[in-house]
Amino acid sequence: MQSAAMPKVRARVIISAPLGPLDYTIPAELRSELVVGSPVRVPLGTRHLTGYIIELFDEIEESEYELKPIESIDEEKSSLPANLLELIRFAADYYGVPAGEMLDAALPATARPSAYRYRITAKGTSPLTGKLTAKDIEALEHIKTLKGDFTVAAIERGLSWTRRASLSRLKRLTEKQLIERMTKKASKARRVAAYRRLEGDPDSLLTSRQQGARSLLEKIPVSEPVTAAELAKADANAYPRLKVL
């Protein structure tokens, strides 16, 4: 009789910040729901951010630092494929940059906070009441001059604020129901790379380093181009192997 699998009690998470992976404990109520690629809300200092699980462990290592727990699953975000997370880690190691920084570059534009669109509410256009800081009022007065909905870029340009300061102010105004975040996000046309195999003898063209990716090469057609996502369905290591080829 096989013993039951050990529950996963620790998760390694990457967030969209210039940091490497961070470890968090998994609350008992989430242990059966989390998998590699799950989007989760985690604490980082005084902030609460979304990250993605890249590894799960069935034990908590001894450390001089006490690990903080994952707060919840981020229901507003979709899970990321395990092979995409593997590519992000590979690229981070290859280029010598933090995994979180590479995650931010790899996420689709519409998955980033900067892609959200906002609009002022009826409450926001009414005479101001309640506790508002000078920065709140400055941001709201600028928003009133904008035509229609807007993105964080309009705040950055109009008030010469940093991206972080602008997002923080929009979050505060949203919580006070002076503006609202729209469900539709800013869209941007993206080019999708496609690949096709060149004719010729592979063994005479490939270097010794590329020989390890020969199995993927045989899956790439000579005629019709194929995308990396399509290749990844047949080969879990398609992304790093394409880079080698």
CA atoms of 217 and 239, how far apart (whole Å): 12
- What pLDDT is recorded for position 186? 46
CA atoms of 221 and 158, how far apart (whole Å): 50
Lowest mean pLDDT among 12-21, 40-49, 88-97, 179-188: 179-188
Lowest mean pLDDT among 16-30, 34-48, 220-234: 220-234
Per-residue b/e over 93-109, b at no fewer than 16 CB within 10 Å?
Answer: eeeeebbbbbbbebbee
- What pLDDT is recorded for position 13? 95
More confident position, 244 or 103: 103
Residues 68-96: tens digit of each pLDDT? 999 988 876 778 888 889 998 888 888 88
How many alpha carbons fall within 13 Å on the CB side of residue 96? Answer: 0
CA atoms of 163 and 157, how far apart (whole Å): 10
Give yes or no for residue 167 having a pLDDT over 90: no
Give yes or no for residue 225 having a pLDDT over 70: no
3-state DSSP helix/strand/coil % of the chain, to nearest 5: 40, 20, 40
Give yes or no for residue 232 having a pLDDT over 70: no
**CA-based angle 240:241:245, to the nearest 5?**
120
What average pLDDT does this structure show over 209-237? 61
Give yes or no for residue 244 having a pLDDT over 60: no
| CB-CB contact of 199 with 165 (8 Å) | no
Which sign, positive or negative, has the C-alpha torsion 81, 84, 86, 92?
negative
What average pLDDT does this structure show over 43-50? 86
The CATH superfamily of 10-107 is PriA, 3(prime) DNA-binding domain (3.40.1440.60)
Give yes or no for residue 198 having a pLDDT over 60: no
Q: CB burial class (10 A; 0-12, 13-18, 19+) of residue 210? A: middle
